[in-house]
């Protein structure tokens, strides 16, 4: 039934065809780290408790401080006292932001904060003015012992309060805005709110007074300068008038008299020339009529003369009568001759009247000519005078420009002096408080209790974890029943067996009354009682040394369980492969072949007909891989074993083969096989410690070498 063991190389040892491609299960054993941390949980709890206690002491001892904040809008563009708009639109510029940054410095200046110290009486506030330090008092007492006198310390309380207030005030500007936040910290929330609002009010008052003082200073400077400017204007105007008198320059209605006379005389000369031309034309026309003798009384002046008009009417009537008489009496009749004499007399009278008109036209022409000559002469004289006056005007205009320049400067200074004088009473600053400080509801220092507690909790856990990790892993202690034969170990004792081999163990199963069978049944009952789930169970049986007692325990336990369960026994000890002693039709493939997909689980499992045990090796003699094998591949192959009621894995010590470490993570329970002598007690404890997070799966130990079978 049994045969000698066959040696097969471990799948994780780096030898053999199947093992050459398998990767290590883990380079960093996180389970070991967690096990170390779990073992040091008491240290971590103590560290956390100490941190929380210190945090509580910190909250109780350190004075609570409260911060109140007020917001001030500082617009670089001042309000306009005159104009169409109170404040013209303006975009944010770097120059304006620099101005606001300068005002931030003004907010924390001594001039502003000194007002706050005075208004809030901070010189008498113990928070801002501390008494004489105990160190100074001690030094003074020591010096007195040696005969040295120390004068009284006179503290400048306002100055001390001012310096302390600077440490309580913080002024910041929001990015790319004109809004400034003024924050004040104090041990009393009401005081913080009051001082924050007082700082804002003091700043507004300071700005108003500074602007008023600046306007007053400018107004006084301008007023002092106005007298000199006024005298300068008067002197310039007097020089102008003197120059006009010396050069006979007289003006009326803004124009020189000579220029007005020259213009009028020129207009009169033009009119005189027109009249002369008209008189000459009339005279020439009359003389032409006189020479022709044919058209007497036909020129315009004659036609307009009533005398000539009457004579021409009479002459026409005489001519009509002459025509009638000549037709009836003949040209030699006395009546006809008398009529002709009347006609000749009328013609003479018309000629005389024309001569008088000609004499009058000649006189009018001579008079017009005389007037023209006189006006031309006067115009020439006036032109000569105007030329001299124009030369004098060059100097006059220079003097007038000086007068105008002096007058402009004087008027500008006068207007500016009046404006600055009025600005003393007008507040043009565009600064206002947009948000007054409210009563702070929460302290700003120390942080909130919740935050302090969380920080203390985190630091305590971190410090405790660091201490535990630096100290290294400790011996694992697993609670359980304590047996007298087990010595001081706290690992539960499931069974105590004599020195036996595999054949003896299997034979003892057939004898229920034997001690060996009784002890093995105790192990099976303990595993059944401690299972924490229904269905398939998995147990890892591992020895703490190189003895073959594991094979006897595993085979006997499997044989006992196989009486009423389907049992699968996995040989995970490929180095010695002691379970191959079962005389069964063994397959030449193992669980790793299932992991790579070369075989199914049914193809690699062998069944012993006599013991009813199903057996499979983790790595068989001819196992090989077709690809890289990972932990996930092996886990999927191991999951297929859940069709059995009980899966027992026989493995070697953790320190010798990582395969044991892998199966310890996936099984439900772990049983340790150890010698009963005291020399193995330390080895057992180290073995449990190496299990790390999986130490809780240890159900107990099976001791061998206890008495006889």
Quote the tokens at residue 361: 């036209």
Task: Detail the DSSP E strand segments found in 260-378.
Answer: none
- For the chain, the residue count is 709
What mean pLDDT comes out for the span 191-209? 91
Q: Give the pLDDT confidence of 248-299 residue by residue, as tens digits.
A: 776 655 556 666 777 777 888 788 888 888 878 777 777 776 666 554 555 6
Q: State yes or no: pLDDT of 412 exceeds 80.
A: yes
Strands 669-675, 698-704: pairing is parallel
Q: State yes or no: pLDDT of 15 exceeds 50.
A: no
CATH 3.40.50.300 given to domain 30-36+474-704:
yes
Choose between 298 and 34: higher pLDDT.
34
Residue boundaries of the structural domains of the chain: 30-36+474-704, 41-61+446-471, 255-423
Element (H, E) at 298: none
What mean pLDDT comes out for the span 652-659? 70
Written as one string, the DSSP assignment of 121-142 is: TGGG-TTTS----HHHHHHHHH
DSSP 227: H
The neighbouring-strand residues paired with 73 are 179, 432
**3-class DSSP state of 605:** coil
Q: How much is the pLDDT for 184? A: 93
Q: State yes or no: pLDDT of 672 exceeds 80.
A: yes
d(C-alpha 385, C-alpha 370), whole Å: 23
Burial of 340 (0-12, 13-18, 19+ CB in 10 A): middle
d(C-alpha 93, C-alpha 83), whole Å: 23
Model confidence at 214, pLDDT cuts 50, 70, 90, reads: confident
What mean pLDDT comes out for the span 569-578? 72
What mean pLDDT comes out for the span 125-147? 68
Residues 6+ apart with CB under 8 A from 166: 108, 113
Q: State yes or no: pLDDT of 70 exceeds 90.
A: yes
d(C-alpha 384, C-alpha 390), whole Å: 10
d(C-alpha 293, C-alpha 286), whole Å: 11
Q: Among 348, 351, 349, 370, which Cα is nearest to 359's?
A: 351
Model confidence at 196, pLDDT cuts 50, 70, 90, reads: very high
Q: How much is the pLDDT for 202? A: 92
Q: What percent of the chain has pLDDT over 90?
A: 8
Radius of gyration of the chain (CA): 68
Q: Among 704, 707, 632, 635, which Cα is nearest to 673's?
A: 704
Q: Are 651 and 540 in contact (CB under 8 A)?
A: yes
What mean pLDDT comes out for the span 162-169? 91
Q: Are 365 and 283 in contact (CB under 8 A)?
A: yes
Model confidence at 489, pLDDT cuts 50, 70, 90, reads: very low
Between the alpha carbon of residue 616 and those of residues 12, 648, 685, the distances in Å are 17, 10, 30
Model confidence at 116, pLDDT cuts 50, 70, 90, reads: very high
Between the alpha carbon of residue 43 and those of residues 38, 232, 301, 467, 685, the distances in Å are 10, 97, 149, 8, 20
- Share in percent of the chain as helix, strand, coil (round to 5): 60, 10, 30
Burial of 315 (0-12, 13-18, 19+ CB in 10 A): buried
What mean pLDDT comes out for the span 29-44? 75
Q: How much is the pLDDT for 477? A: 43
Model confidence at 203, pLDDT cuts 50, 70, 90, reads: very high
What mean pLDDT comes out for the span 464-483? 59
What mean pLDDT comes out for the span 76-95? 57
Give the chain's mean pLDDT: 75
Ordered alpha helix ranges (H), 424-501: 449-471
What mean pLDDT comes out for the span 3-15? 34
Q: How much is the pLDDT for 612? A: 83
Q: How much is the pLDDT for 297? A: 54
Task: Detail the DSSP E strand segments found in 142-225.
Answer: 169-173, 179-186
Q: Are 168 and 194 in contact (CB under 8 A)?
A: no
Mean pLDDT is lowest, of 17-21, 202-206, 325-329, for: 17-21
Q: What percent of the chain has pLDDT over 70?
A: 72
Place of tokens 């030898």: 15
Phi, psi of 4 (to 5 degrees): -65, 150
């Amino acid at each position: 039934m049994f045969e000698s063991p066959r040696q097969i190389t471990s799948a994780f040892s780096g030898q053999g065809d199947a093992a050459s491609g398998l990767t290590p299960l883990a380079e960093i054993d996180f389970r070991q780290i967690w096990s170390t941390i779990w073992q040091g949980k008491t240290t971590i709890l103590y560290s956390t408790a100490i941190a929380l206690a210190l945090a509580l002491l910190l909250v109780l001892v350190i004075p609570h401080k409260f911060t109140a904040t007020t917001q001030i809008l500082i617009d670089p563009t001042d309000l306009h006292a005159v104009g169409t708009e109170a404040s013209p639109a303006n975009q944010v510029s770097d120059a304006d932001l620099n101005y606001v940054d300068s005002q931030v410095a003004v907010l924390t200046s001594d001039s502003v904060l000194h007002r706050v110290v005075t208004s809030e009486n901070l010189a008498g506030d113990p928070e801002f003015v501390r008494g004489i330090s105990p160190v100074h008092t001690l030094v003074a007492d020591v010096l007195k012992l040696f005969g040295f006198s120390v004068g009284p310390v006179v503290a400048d309380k306002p100055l001390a309060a001012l310096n302390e207030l600077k440490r309580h005030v913080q002024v910041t500007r929001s990015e790319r805005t004109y809004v400034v936040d003024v924050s004040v910290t104090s041990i009393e929330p009401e005081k913080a709110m009051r001082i924050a609002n007082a700082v804002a009010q003091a700043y507004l008052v300071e700005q108003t007074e500074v602007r008023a003082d600046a306007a007053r200073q400018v107004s006084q400077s301008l007023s002092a300068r106005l007298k000199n400017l006024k005298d300068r204007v008067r002197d310039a105007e007097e020089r102008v008038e003197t120059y006009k008198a010396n050069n006979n320059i007289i003006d009326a209605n803004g124009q020189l008299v000579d220029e007005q006379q020259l213009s009028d005389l020129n207009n009169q000369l033009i009119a005189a020339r027109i009249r002369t031309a008209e008189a000459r034309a009339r005279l020439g026309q009359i003389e032409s009529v006189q020479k022709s003798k044919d058209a007497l009384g036909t020129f315009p002046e004659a036609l307009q003369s009533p005398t000539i008009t009457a004579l021409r009417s009479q002459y026409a009537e005489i001519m009509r009568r002459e025509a009638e008489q000549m037709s009836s009496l003949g040209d030699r009749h006395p009546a006809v001759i008398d009529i002709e004499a009347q006609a000749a007399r009328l013609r003479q009278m018309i000629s005389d009247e024309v001569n008088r008109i000609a004499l009058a036209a000649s006189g009018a022409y001579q008079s017009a000519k005389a007037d023209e000559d006189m006006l031309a002469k006067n115009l020439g004289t006036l032109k000569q005078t105007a030329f001299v006056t124009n030369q004098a005007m060059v100097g006059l205009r220079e003097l007038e420009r000086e007068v105008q320049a002096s007058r402009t400067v004087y008027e500008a200074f006068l207007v500016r002096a009046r404006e600055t004088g009025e600005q003393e009473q007008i507040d043009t600053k565009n600064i206002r408080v947009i948000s007054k400080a409210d009563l702070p509801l929460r302290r700003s220092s120390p942080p909130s209790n919740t935050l302090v507690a969380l920080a203390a909790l985190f630091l305590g856990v971190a410090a405790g974890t660091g201490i535990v990790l630096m100290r290294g892993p400790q011996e694992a202690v697993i609670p359980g029943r304590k047996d007298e034969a087990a010595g001081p170990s706290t690992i539960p004792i499931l069974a105590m067996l004599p020195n036996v081999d595999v054949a003896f163990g299997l034979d003892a199963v057939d004898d229920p009354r034997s001690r060996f069978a009784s002890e093995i049944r105790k192990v099976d009952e303990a595993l059944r009682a401690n299972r924490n789930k229904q269905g398939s169970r998995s147990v890892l049986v591992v020895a703490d040394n190189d003895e073959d007692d594991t094979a006897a325990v595993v085979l006997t336990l499997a044989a006992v369980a196989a009486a009423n369960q389907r049992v699968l026994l996995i040989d995970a000890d490929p180095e010695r492969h002691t379970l191959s002693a079962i005389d069964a039709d063994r397959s030449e493939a193992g669980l790793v072949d299932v992991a790579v997909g070369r075989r199914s689980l049914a193809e690699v499992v062998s069944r012993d007909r006599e013991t009813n045990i199903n057996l499979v090796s983790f790595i068989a003699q001819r196992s090989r891989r077709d690809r890289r094998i990972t932990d996930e591949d092996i886990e999927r192959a191991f999951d297929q074993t859940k069709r059995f009621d009980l899966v027992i894995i026989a493995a070697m010590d953790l320190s010798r083969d990582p395969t044991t470490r892998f199966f310890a993570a996936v099984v439900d329970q772990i049983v340790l096989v150890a010698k009963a002598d005291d020399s193995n007690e330390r080895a057992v404890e180290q073995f449990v410690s190496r299990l790390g997070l999986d130490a809780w799966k240890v159900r107990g130990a099976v001791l061998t070498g206890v008495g006889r079978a």
